[in-house]
């Protein structure tokens, strides 16, 4: 196959890749997108498990770059389902005529910088060889499911399904018995739905998670109309949010004030009243009722106790309730889950919770699972065991920079990227929502748009100044990584063995990967970098 020349290669056709392609087209650059799936959507293409829906509200979990698109698209529920989000992304792809530049069913297997030609050479499992001036990784933060280290997985005689690679035709649980390993966000959404269909469900829990009710509901047409009239203001609200940008702004007037209040400076009755109000409102915004929840152990304990009391109120069997109450890490330091009837599902006669922290899994058997205490049998095994987050996809892509330096060597002690956007010795390589940016701590769409816009503006700047390439300075990168760590160490985040820390993957360096200072602070930093002539980047 001959080598093609393009200006830009984009890896991935999820929210980030789609918007990138649109912006590159606007710059008049020839762009080739490679996508492993046979359709657009990224994480929303693969995660088709029962109950999959977004935990950011639909009106906020959508692009803002085109007012016409914003006005015409109609979300139907407060939290969009996976099929509806996929429909939206297909709509955007077709509306902006983007499909023709996306090569589907094609996985990138190498991205290698050539010092002589100053071009990226990108190869795929379909035998493509493409040379590009720019290489952009729109590969998502949660796109490589982890294959759990559980003995005997191949022994199981029945079907095994991973939540992150769910079959397109769906799974009929009717009349079946099911074993589910994992109790993270995916499992917490799937378990109530599977339990309502299956004969019996056994949930194998190693670590319980904190979850907040979604109170999902159909969107009221009048409310949507009212909200859409003021879309730009709402957008600004969650772009400027100090701590989060989840955009849980169903009732913006009431919830706009929330970013400032300290729990430890608030009378306890008022604290409980506010937590109750936020709990009744529903959604991840609960975590940000008080700004010190993620910084002070004392404040955090009050919020965690509140949720534990809700679990105990909901679950009838006190022993099961105890098992469901997290106690080994501060609330919020593992991603807060948002559910519909999760805890109440354990009141069903057909659901059993097995504590594999006290009696660990030994092996998967032909009929089910064996723990150190007991044997369990079931027809279907579901693995809701998570992802090699933030770096997993990049580490599997054979990326090399100047002088052939592998990205995996550069990142051997944890990911290093200036602003989470670019890496020293990897010229003209950009990461969308990479490690060191707010990414998974924010509304992903807000962060994706900001990164894509930043990169697009930088490319215009390069064109105006006839620069061929750009890469971060080593000093700026080191300083940024140190700052990201310093910010994380000022919070409680490092106290949990979370996927934010790489702790769910054996052998992965334990480094807190996202930037925890919030999207508004991060945007200010990026704007300052631009104002200083792209401070910290070297152009040539
Ligand atoms: O994965 P997870 P997830 N033996 O890593 C257990 C986003 N998301 O797919 O905690 C036994 O959170 C593991 O146990 P432990 C969201 O950002 C968003 O659920 O390691 N158990 C844990 O219980 C989320 O945070 C949405 O002790 C094993 C579970 O598997 C992120 O994706 C929906 C095991 C993995 O939980 C990841 O969520 C879904 C083993 N060997 C996901 N290995 C929404 O928008 C792992 N586990 C709503």
In the numeric block, which tokens belong to residue 279?
């709990």
Per-residue pLDDT at 3: 85
- The residue behind tokens 């991060």 is 522
Answer whether 54 contacts ligand 1 (Cβ < 6 A).
yes
Per-residue pLDDT at 255: 53
Centre of ligand 1 to C-alpha 518, Å, is 23
Answer whether 385 contacts ligand 1 (Cβ < 6 A).
yes
In the numeric block, which tokens belong to residue 396?
């599997």
Residue 248 · residue 284 · CB < 8 Å = yes
Answer whether 32 contacts ligand 1 (Cβ < 6 A).
no
Per-residue pLDDT at 259: 58
Atom of ligand 1 lying closest to residue 207 CA: 27
Answer whether 55 contacts ligand 1 (Cβ < 6 A).
yes
Per-residue pLDDT at 248: 44
Centre of ligand 1 to C-alpha 48, Å, is 15
Cα 12 to Cα 72, 285, 290, 336: the distances in Å are 26, 29, 36, 27
Q: Which of 103, 106, 108, 119 is nearest to 21 (CA)?
A: 103
The Cβ of residue 524 has, within 10 Å, a number of other Cβ atoms equal to: 13
Radius of gyration of the chain (CA): 23
b/e map 124-162, b = 16+ CB within 10 Å: beeebebebbbbbbbbbbbbbbbebebeeeeebebeebb
Atom of ligand 1 lying closest to residue 338 CA: 48
Answer whether 338 contacts ligand 1 (Cβ < 6 A).
yes
Answer whether 82 contacts ligand 1 (Cβ < 6 A).
no
Centre of ligand 1 to C-alpha 403, Å, is 38
Per-residue pLDDT at 249: 47
Answer whether 182 contacts ligand 1 (Cβ < 6 A).
yes
Mutate to test the pocket of ligand 1, among 60, 185, 337 (most ligand atoms within 8 A of CB): 185
The CA distance from 12 to 449, in Å, is: 15
Per-residue pLDDT at 235: 75
Centre of ligand 1 to C-alpha 389, Å, is 10
Q: Which of 292, 288, 274 is nearest to 237 (CA)?
A: 288
Centre of ligand 1 to C-alpha 474, Å, is 34
Per-residue pLDDT at 245: 46
- Protein residue with least CA distance to atom 18, ligand 1: 185
DSSP assignment letter at 285: G
Centre of ligand 1 to C-alpha 385, Å, is 5
Atom of ligand 1 lying closest to residue 337 CA: 48
DSSP assignment letter at 192: H
Answer whether 394 contacts ligand 1 (Cβ < 6 A).
no
DSSP assignment letter at 219: P
The Cβ of residue 55 has, within 10 Å, a number of other Cβ atoms equal to: 22
Say how many CA atoms lie within 13 Å of 414 toward its Cβ: 19
Per-residue pLDDT at 233: 80
Identify the bridge partners of residue 180 per DSSP, sorted by sequence position.
203, 382
Answer whether 340 contacts ligand 1 (Cβ < 6 A).
no
Centre of ligand 1 to C-alpha 310, Å, is 22
* Local confidence pLDDT in tens for the 540 residues of the chain: 678 999 999 999 999 999 999 999 999 999 999 999 999 999 999 999 999 999 988 988 999 999 999 999 999 999 999 999 999 999 999 999 999 999 999 999 999 999 999 999 999 999 999 999 999 999 999 999 998 989 999 999 999 999 999 999 999 999 999 999 999 999 999 999 999 999 999 999 999 999 999 999 999 999 899 889 988 887 777 666 654 544 444 455 555 555 578 999 999 999 999 999 999 989 988 998 898 999 999 999 999 999 999 999 999 999 999 999 999 999 999 999 999 999 999 999 999 999 999 999 999 999 999 999 999 999 999 999 999 999 999 999 999 999 999 999 999 999 999 999 999 999 999 999 999 999 999 889 989 999 999 999 999 999 999 999 999 999 999 999 999 999 999 999 999 999 999 999 999 999 999 999 988 899 999 999 999 999 999 999
The Cβ of residue 424 has, within 10 Å, a number of other Cβ atoms equal to: 23
DSSP assignment letter at 184: S
Per-residue pLDDT at 238: 66
Answer whether 335 contacts ligand 1 (Cβ < 6 A).
yes
User: What's the gap between Cα 379 and its chain centre?
Assistant: 31
Centre of ligand 1 to C-alpha 98, Å, is 33
- Protein residue with least CA distance to atom 37, ligand 1: 386
Centre of ligand 1 to C-alpha 37, Å, is 22
- Protein residue with least CA distance to atom 21, ligand 1: 182
User: What's the gap between Cα 482 and its chain centre?
Assistant: 23
Per-residue pLDDT at 140: 98
What are 67-108's pLDDT values in tens digits? 999 999 999 999 999 999 999 999 999 999 999 999 999 999
Domains of the chain are 4-144+388-535 (3.50.50.60), 146-214+297-386 (3.50.50.60)
Centre of ligand 1 to C-alpha 187, Å, is 7
Answer whether 48 contacts ligand 1 (Cβ < 6 A).
no
């Amino acid at each position: 196959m001959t080598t093609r020349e393009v200006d830009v290669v984009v890896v991935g056709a999820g929210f980030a890749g789609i918007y990138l392609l649109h912006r590159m087209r606007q710059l008049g650059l020839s762009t080739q997108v490679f996508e492993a799936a046979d359709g657009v959507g990224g994480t929303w293409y693969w995660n088709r498990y029962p109950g999959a829906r977004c935990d950011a509200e639909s009106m906020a979990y959508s692009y803002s770059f085109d007012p016409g698109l914003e006005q015409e698209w109609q979300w139907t529920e407060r939290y969009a389902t996976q099929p509806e989000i996929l429909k939206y992304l297909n709509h955007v792809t077709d509306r902006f005529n983007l499909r023709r530049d996306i090569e589907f069913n094609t996985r990138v297997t190498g991205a290698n910088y050539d010092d002589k030609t100053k071009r990226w050479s990108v190869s795929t499992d379909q035998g493509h060889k493409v040379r590009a001036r720019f290489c952009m990784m729109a590969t998502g933060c949660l796109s490589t499911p982890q294959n759990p280290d559980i003995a005997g997985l191949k022994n199981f005689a029945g079907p095994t399904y991973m939540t992150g690679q769910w079959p397109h035709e769906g799974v009929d649980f009717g009349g079946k018995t099911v074993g589910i390993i994992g109790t993270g966000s995916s499992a917490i959404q799937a378990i109530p739905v599977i339990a309502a269909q299956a004969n019996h469900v056994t949930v194998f829990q190693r670590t319980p998670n904190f979850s907040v009710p979604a109170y999902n509901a159909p969107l009221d047409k009048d409310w949507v109309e009212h909200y859409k009239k003021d879309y730009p203001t709402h957008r600004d609200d969650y772009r400027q949010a100090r701590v989060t940008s989840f955009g849980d702004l169903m009732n913006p007037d009431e919830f706009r004030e929330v970013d400032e209040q300290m729990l430890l400076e608030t009378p306890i009755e008022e604290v409980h009243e506010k937590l109750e109000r936020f709990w009744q409102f529903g959604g991840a915004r609960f975590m940000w009722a008080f700004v010190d929840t993620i910084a002070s152990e004392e404040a955090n304990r009050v919020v965690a106790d509140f949720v534990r009391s809700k679990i105990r109120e909901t679950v009838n069997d006190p022993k099961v309730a105890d098992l469901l109450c997290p106690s080994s890490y501060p609330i919020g330091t593992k991603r807060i889950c948002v559910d519909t009837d999760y805890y109440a599902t354990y009141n069903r006669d057909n659901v059993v919770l097995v504590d594999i922290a006290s009696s660990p899994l030994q092996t998967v058997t032909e009929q089910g699972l064996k723990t150190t205490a007991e044997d369990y049998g079931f027809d279907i095994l579901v693995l809701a065991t998570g992802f090699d987050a933030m770096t997993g996809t990049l580490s599997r892509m054979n990326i090399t920079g100047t002088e052939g330096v592998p990205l995996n060597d550069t990142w051997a002690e944890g990911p290093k990227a200036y602003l989470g956007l670019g890496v020293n010795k990897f010229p003209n390589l950009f990461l969308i929502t990479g490690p060191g940016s707010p990414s998974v701590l924010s509304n992903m769409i807000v962060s994706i748009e900001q990164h894509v816009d930043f990169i697009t503006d930088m490319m215009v700047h390069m064109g105006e100044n006839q620069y061929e390439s750009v890469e971060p300075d080593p000093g700026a990168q080191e300083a940024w990584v140190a700052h990201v760590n310093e910010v994380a160490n000022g919070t409680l985040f490092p106290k949990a063995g979370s996927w934010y820390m790489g702790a769910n993957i054996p052998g992965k360096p334990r480094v807190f990967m996202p930037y925890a200072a919030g999207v508004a602070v991060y945007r200010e930093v990026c704007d300052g970098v631009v104002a200083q002539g792209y401070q910290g980047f070297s152009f040539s």
